[in-house]
Structure 1
């Protein structure tokens, strides 16, 4: 369990000194699962790594009204030093090497052996329901809204207790197939992959092997990110006994906010502006307008570990002028000493490289994160209604 030998764990007094709290607060941290303690020689001892991480979080302070939820999970680990891993495997080792299908199998069970890329086919009957549910929508409705309608329809009459990998694969494939095609149908040996099928629904360009590879890598990079707000929504819904489709709908609704699933769209606009009048002027204009997109993160204190692996895959898909714009914007961000780059910058560059349709950011993000949502729903199903947030009443007495 520990990276530091237990005999070197901190005493209660040492832990309190490092955290700057009283013993009562220290015990509250343990009861809430924020710290691990063991008994040794009749005294409680505390994991120094956990104490250090908790001290960093509390030192940064909390914005008024903000709270943290901490739970045990075996799925994904985020570290402020810029590390992200899926069940112990660094994401940098997966992006561009593992398929989305293999990554999903790993997230769901920790086992990617066998044939994880088989069984990803839409259910014809359920697909007809999902497509029919969109019949009354305007032609120009955003693809993210279409996806939410499709998933809501797929949940009608579905087995609320089914979260098996077989059903999950079918569900994801059906979600993607329910979206309208906007480009040439995919061809080649990977034409049936989730990335190839999704490319034809978010880009009017032909799904070349390089294009499919770039989108596949993007899906892997965004497959999970610990307890992001949408993932927490999925777990809360699951804890009430909600079915998989209903839980995914909770995640999709949360993701639809412009501060979450669509955060990469302003990056695409920034890159277009940089091509037109130069990176310096584009970044300055963004700063004046309210802030430069694609920088900063609530957890990472350095560059988001998903960013560089994705940017490295742009050649072969993005035209030279578009790659040059990305490099110029990154250089300008560094010259201005802005906050470290985040994954929204990389996703915006992917959208720009593929000439993707308006609103594609939310759909790419949602399809990618569905793998993680399903993993969290499967893990949360072992518990029963364990979330009950409390409020600090500030109204009239």
Structure 2
């Protein structure tokens, strides 16, 4: 049965368990306004629930029951339900009400999914990995640079459900921008899906720019005068954080291409061109991440080479000083054997001659080492 048929069935049979549970919740809490910008006053996972007609908010629909009833009765507009880390119990009634596929519901609740787009009948389920840059005064070997989260989007003919996981990636500002452009929002749930994708990918580019600043700082430290003393742990930490960023950005390329494909039935044809633009931005972020990875490899190799050179210089200095110390050690060792017949032992100027000889030889060795760059 099509999604539209299922929705008509739910409307005609008001005794459906999911709808009854939502209705009971609304009556129990006296139709509390769920349009709070940050978190539902109920303390539940509902962040926002709004019905739109012709791209404009319907002010009389302040809860899920009113919104769904109005959209299904008029056959116009759509419902946008925003959730934050819902539990299975909280999501059960919503899943039944909108006839969501159990596999998609499980992914939305459990999170930790790979970026993807899946179609279930006339509905679509998309997963986006969100990223944010963690500010820090100084990069260390344990600094967290990139933090990730997830946004899942259910898209149907007359509804869009966004499920967010993580403390960042709020969709409130994005909703305000869409509501300020009713012509775009009037294109339906596809416009919301595009805005979510565009919002996520734009943040990729912002994080890439911030990570580049950290890489530039590490590069400057490595190639400084005392670069061999730079902490290699910072380079490894950047590579680790870059890998986390790569896991979020790179897999999104194929889903965006699928959404921009003309054969995508769920996505409005006018919106597909916008998805191609988002795909271009994602490709740019992917290329920059690959370039950063290569650059960090080069920086690490350069640092290891500097450490090797520095160790060789230290060994040469130690060898040069050991050679100079060996001369007086040898001479003094000979005269310390206490034989009766030693050269110049009874000469008045013998001691001065030996000291002078040691000084001349050591000075010659020092000059030779300095000239060859060992000291």
TM-score, scaled relative to structure 2: 0.25
Higher relative contact order (CA 8 A, sep 6+): 1
Structure label with greater radius of gyration: 2
Decide which structure has greater strand share: 2
- Tell me the TM-score normalised to structure 1 length: 0.24
